Amino acid sequence: MTTGLMWKMEEYRPQFMRDLMTRNFPRKAESMFKKVDGGKYSLFDVLGELHKIGDYQNSDIAKRALSRIERVRESRIGSIILNNVPKRVQFKTKNDELGLICTYVKIRLDLLKQTLRKLS
């Protein structure tokens, strides 16, 4: 979704800006997994559903993933995105847009940590 935001920032900007601070936009991100009764799981709901399945249910996979993710420093997110995303015309990305993407990634990281803590 982050890549899609960079390509479609003009289209998503109003919704993104409106929902960013309430964390609604990142929470809405859908996975590719479909629900039996229709629709798709959110990225965060699908983790809980997968964790209920057989081998995952009694494993420490969530705890191990959380341990690795907690080592990600938020300060590195910004520098990695700002220094590695091309700023050529065809990408249509500027530093202010990349700053919004950094904020979005940090929120998604925090939501992922919260989800994994519940599963651990």
Q: How would DSSP label each residue in 8-37?
A: THHHHHHHHHHHHTTTHHHHH-EEEEEPTT
Rounded CA-CA distance 96/87 in Å is: 11
Burial of 101 (C-beta count, 10 Å sphere; 0-12/13-18/19+): buried
E strand residue ranges, the chain = 30-34, 40-42
Rounded CA-CA distance 70/109 in Å is: 9
User: Tokens 């965060």 identify what position?
Assistant: 44
Nearest to 96 by CA among 6, 24, 36: 6
pTM above 0.85, yes or no: no
Tens of each residue's pLDDT in the chain, 120 residues: 444 555 566 676 777 777 776 776 666 777 788 888 888 888 778 888 888 887 777 788 889 999 999 999 888 888 888 788 776 666 566 777 778 778 888 888 888 898 889 888
Cβ–Cβ < 8 Å for 97, 87 = no
